[in-house]
Structure 1
Amino acid sequence: MRILLLGMGSRGDVQPLVALGQRLRRMGYAVSLAAPADLGHVVAGSGVDFEPLSFDLEAPLREGLGRDSLRGSARTQVREARLMRHVMAQTADALAADVARLVDRADAVVSGALTLDLVDALLASGDRRGRPAKPHLYAVFAPVWPSAHGDSVALALRPRATSWVNRAWSGTAGRVAFDLFRPAGDLVRKRKELPRKRFRDYVAAAERTPTILAASPHIVPPAPDWPPALRQTGYWVRDAATGSPDRSLDAALEAFLAAGDAPVYVGFGSMPTPDPAGVSRDVVSVLGRLGVRGVVSEGLAGLRVERSAEVLGVGPAPHDALFSRCAVVVHHGGAGTTAAAVRAGVPQVVVPHAADQPYWGRRMADLGVAPPPIARKDLTPARFERALEVALSPGARETAYALGERVRAEDGVGDAARLVDTYLCNVRK
């Protein structure tokens, strides 16, 4: 049986699916993973078949509209939403054609947030109960369902309370998300002469689709008002024994780590910043005042530092190999980066830029492994220095180490693979 995993999105949307694909292959399934063409290096060496989509996603973030808009997302989520709408509209034709071809060859599909509606449209069978023509599961890496429980939903107006306001607000966020993600699904329905889906139809499809949340319950508390179709596992982590050039540290970084005390890691993933030179300068200045070494991820954020005995600028580096050798991880609050830092057992400083990132920053603070998050627009040298002082404290180190031990004890990807296998076996009966 061939299972298609759809990793539409950034590296954080693809890497967990690689881990799931490896476990499913062990169970005897043939597994392919579709992702933007420029993310093939994330899948390389895993044993999972890579199916490149006919467009890139990382490259557009480095220049033009994508970079300009993501810079603005540090200040307003309206601008971020406009960027997402633009990206999804521009890629709708290619995405619909690519996914239609791949779904046709697969026996079962695991989709993500950006492709749930598209796959639902492709698999529409006319069944009165809405059952798909092939088994379809939904994988997500953040708690996105409307909920009254503020610590269990990514978008909440009262994040530390249980309130109807949280459920209403997160439901509104879901409506906005559907409007952003729907272009490819709308194309397919039009071609199949199906009616355009309303938001309530989208909600019904999501609630009946078996869904797996890949986030540790130690971090995201299960909410009693989640839909019955939702099952939660721990994080999905790729097999450590699998060799890949994407999982080893380069010689310069190894030498830097061995030459002194554990450094502070600073990196903002795929989130560009309005003033990369200024941020780089402030980071180096604060690290110097605190007397700590630093590893600065240059990447899409555009940060650049001059190499010295105390500071090293690096390109992409595997978080699971690097973070455990750092004193503190400073990051943007992406779901995957947060999970890697938690598993490494080190304190964090979270600088949220957009989307679900404020949620992860808040959860890290609530769990005692980070100071309160600093919104990107509020990041100043003084705030950064105070936050680092908290993260470097013995209390934060002890709390982070203990949390890391609990999370590493989970077998989230193994649990997820068993859930997929059980569902597929029941469908075949």
Structure 2
Amino acid sequence: MRILLLGMGSRGDVQPLVALGQRLRRRGYAVSLAAPADLGHVVVGGGVDFEPLSFDLERPLREGLGRESLRGSARTQVREARLMREVMAGTAEQLAGDVTRLVDTADAVVSGALTFDLVDALLDPGRRGGTPTKPHLYAVFAPVWPSAHGPSVALALRPRTDTWANRAWSTLAGRVALDLFRPAGDLVRTRRGLPRQRFRHYTSAAERTPTLLAASPHVVPPADDWPAALRQTGYWVRDDDTAGTVPPDLEAFLDRGDPPVYVGFGSMPTPDPDGVSRIVADVLGRRGARGARGVVSAGLAGLTVPARADLLAVGPVPHGVLFPRCSVVVHHGGAGTTAAAVRAGVPQVVVPHAADQPYWGRRMADLGVAAAPIARKDLTAARLERALEVALSPGARAAAYALGERVRAEDGAGDAARLVDEYLRGPSGHTRSG
């Protein structure tokens, strides 16, 4: 039986699916993973078949539209949403064609947030609420369901309380999300002569689709009002997560002194990379007399640092290998980077840029492993320095170490593969075909 995993998005949307694919292969399934063409390096070597989508995603983020989207997010979420929809609309034709072809050759499909509506359209038997023509599961890496429980929903109005307002606000966020992600699904429905679906259909389909939340319950507390179809696992981590190596110059830098501060914003661009780089270099320079050193990842933000004995600029480095050797991880709050820092057992400074990233920043602060998050638009040298003081405190170090031990004890990818297997085999133990 061949299972298609759809990894539409950044590295953080693709790498966990490699881990799931590895565990599914152990259970005897053939697994293929579709992802943007420029993320093939994340998949290749992981033991699953790579199916490149016919477009890049990192390149647009580096260029005008991506930078403009993040520039807007510093001021208004409405602008961010509008520009994100432009990105999705621009890839709709290619995405619909690619996924249609791949779904036709698969026996079961695991979609993500950006492809759920598209797969729902492809597997719709043509009647509202009907059983999909092939088994369809939904995988997400952040708690996106409407909920009254603030700590358990990524977009809450009152994040630390239980209130109907959180459920109402997160439901509204779901409506906005559907408008962002629906262009490819709408295209498929139009071609098949099916009506454009309302939000009510979208929520109904999501609530009855077996869903896997790949986030540790030690970080995302389960909520009583989550749908019955949702099953939470720990984080999905590749078999070889800690088995890689770092470049020789980085290895030498790590060996020369105390564990450094890591700074990197992953796939998030910034409209002012020089300004952010200066802030980082200045803060680490002021702390240098007290033993602080820095490893700065360029990422899509294009961060650079001057040639100094206490600083090293690096390209992509496996987080599972590097983070445990750092004193603090300063990052953008992506789900995958947050998970890697948690597993490493080191304190954090979170600088959210967009989407669910403020949620992860709040959770790290509430769990005692970080100061309050610093929104990207509010990043200053003074704020970064204060946040580093908190992260380097004995309390934050102890909390991060304890949380890391609990999370490392989980096997989220293994649990998820078991749940997928149980669903596909059904109550009779025989593999279902739709």
Shorter-chain TM-score bucket reads: over 0.9
- Aligned to 1:428, the other structure's residue is in SS state coil
Q: Residue 186 of structure 1 corresponds to which residue in structure 2?
A: 186
**1:289 aligned residue (286, 289, 304):** 286
**Preserved CA contact (<8 Å) 2:274 2:303:** yes
Q: Post-superposition, which runs of at least 4 consecutive aligned residues in structure 1 deviate over 6 A?
A: none
User: 2:212 aligns to what SS in structure 1?
Assistant: strand
Aligned mate of 2:267, from 267, 270, 285: 270
Please give the per-residue CA displacement for 1:57-96, whole angstroms capped at 9, x wherever unaligned. 0011111222222233233222221221001101111000
Matches within 5 A, 1:131-170: 131-170=131-170
SS at match of 2:104: helix
1:428 matched to 2:425? The reply is no
Contact 1:74–1:353 (8 Å) recurs in 2 = yes
Q: Which 10-residue stretch deviates more, 222-231 or 253-262?
A: 253-262
- Which structure 2 residues correspond to residues 362-401 of structure 1 after superposition, within 5 A? 362-401=362-401
Deviation (angstroms), 1:177: 0.2
Mapped partners of 2:297, 2:74: distance in 1: 18
- What CA distance in whole angstroms lies between the structure 2 residues aligned with 1:296 and 1:220? 28
Letter aligned with residue 428 of structure 1: T
Map of 1:151-300 to 2, 5 A cutoff?
Answer: 151-240=151-240, 247-291=244-288, 292-300=292-300
1:66 alignment counterpart? 66
For the Cα contact (< 8 Å) 2:129–2:205, is it kept in 1?
Answer: no
Q: Percent identity?
A: 81
Distance 1:58 1:191 in 2: 29
Q: Measure the CA separation in 2 of the matches of 1:113 and 1:349.
A: 26
The 5-angstrom pairing of residues 308-347 of structure 1 reads 308-347=308-347
Q: CA deviation at 1:18?
A: 0.3
| CA distance, structure 2, for counterparts of residue 353 and residue 280 of structure 1 | 16
Map 1:9-158; keep pairs closer than 5 Å: 9-126=9-126, 129-158=129-158
Cα deviation for residue 345 of structure 1 reads: 0.1
2:12 counterpart SS class: helix
Q: CA shift at 1:176, angstroms?
A: 0.3
The alignment partner of 2:340 has SS state of helix
Tell me the TM-score normalized by structure 1.
0.97
CA contact (8 A) 2:3 2:31 kept: yes
Indicate conservation of the 8 Å contact 1:36/1:54, yes or no: yes
Q: Give the superposed CA RMSD.
A: 1.2
Stretches of structure 1 lacking an aligned partner (at least 5 in a row): none
* CA displacement at 1:248 relative to structure 2: 2.9
Partner Cα separation in structure 2 for residue 331 and residue 218 of structure 1:
20
Q: Could you say what secondary structure the match of 2:32 adopts?
A: strand
Contact 2:35 2:53 in 1 (8 A): yes
Contact 2:69 2:84 in 1 (8 A): no
Distance, in Å, in 2 between the alignment partners of 1:275 and 1:110 is: 37
Q: Which has the larger displacement, 82-91 or 227-236? A: 82-91
**8 Å CA contact retained: 1:37, 1:54:** yes
Give the match's secondary structure for 1:265.
strand
Q: Secondary structure at the match of 1:166?
A: helix
Letter in 2 for 1:344: A
Quick one: distance in 1 between partners of 2:259 and 2:241? 25
Provide the aligned length of Structure 1 versus Structure 2. Answer: 426
- CA deviations 1:279-315 (Å, max 9, x no partner) are 1111111112122100011120111112321000111
Return the alpha-carbon distance in structure 2 between the equivalents of residues 307 and 257 of structure 1: 16
- TM norm structure 2: 0.96
69-78 or 27-36, which deviates more: 69-78
Query: 1:74 touches 1:273 (CA, 8 Å); kept in 2?
Result: no
